[in-house]
Amino acid sequence: MTLELTVVDAFTDRPFSGNPAAICFVDEFPNDARMQTVAAEMNLAETAFVVERGEGRYDLRWFSPKVEVDLCGHATLATTHILGRPAAFRTRSGELVCSVTPDGFIEMDFPADPPSEAELPDGTGLGGVRWFGRGKFDGLAELDSAEAVRTMVPDLAGIERLGGRALIVTATGDRTGIDFVSRVFAPATGVPEDPVTGSAHCTLAEYWGGRLGLHAMTGEQASPRGGIVTMRRAGERVLLGGRAVTVSTVSLLV
């Protein structure tokens, strides 16, 4: 079964930055084992499979190199970028509606995921933690400074022992126009460091929105590739925004 995939760098306006996702449009979903094998072959943070259902509606599933995930921002943004028009996606996290401005800026309506304070377990290798909590998917640790986030050398084994999908580390921003910085580590899903994690900003928006008293924010994910995510809090939803660039196409012949 030949598959055609398009690789898009998401949450960036420059190629070879942001977070790459491989997007595969199919008439119907292949079996789960096939989709997981393709995701492992692509070896990107996410490979998404998309089935059109008509009238701007699609079914959407996301796979990391190891597992199917419940929510993914950057691959949803990448899919909308390829479509180039508003779309509604039926997913494991409910319906996600995305809009596109004439200049290509994409905004995605995602579920908010406020974190609750929790005790930081021993053996994580984390230092200088001001606050620790957990959202539905991820742990979140506020560190002393943006510099501490930028220079952190993660103990991936310790992070994996935390459980959950990933660990978000964050601190207030250190440059004009950036409200906070973050990095995301997800070794349990086969992604040691995720370049830019849209869904993590469903938690970050609620945490920093409450701390800073803001409803609209801009976050920088300070991974080596880097990326920018805008957020607008809307009750139980968060509107995540960003840009994307198509960088390649891939044909899998087997």
Indicate left, alpha or beta for 179 from its phi (over 0: left) and psi (-120 to 50: alpha). alpha
Phi, psi of 158 (to 5 degrees): -65, -40
Indicate left, alpha or beta for 4 from its phi (over 0: left) and psi (-120 to 50: alpha). beta
Specify whether the CB–CB gap between 164 and 137 falls below 8 A: yes
Catalytic residue of the set 4, 46, 95, 220: 46
Contacts of 56 (CB under 8 A, 6+ apart): 85, 86, 87, 88
- The strand pair at 191-194 and 180-186 is best described as antiparallel
Beta strands in 147-189 (DSSP E): 166-172, 180-186
> DSSP code of 164?
S
| 46 in catalytic set | yes
Q: Which sequence positions are flagged as catalytic?
A: 46
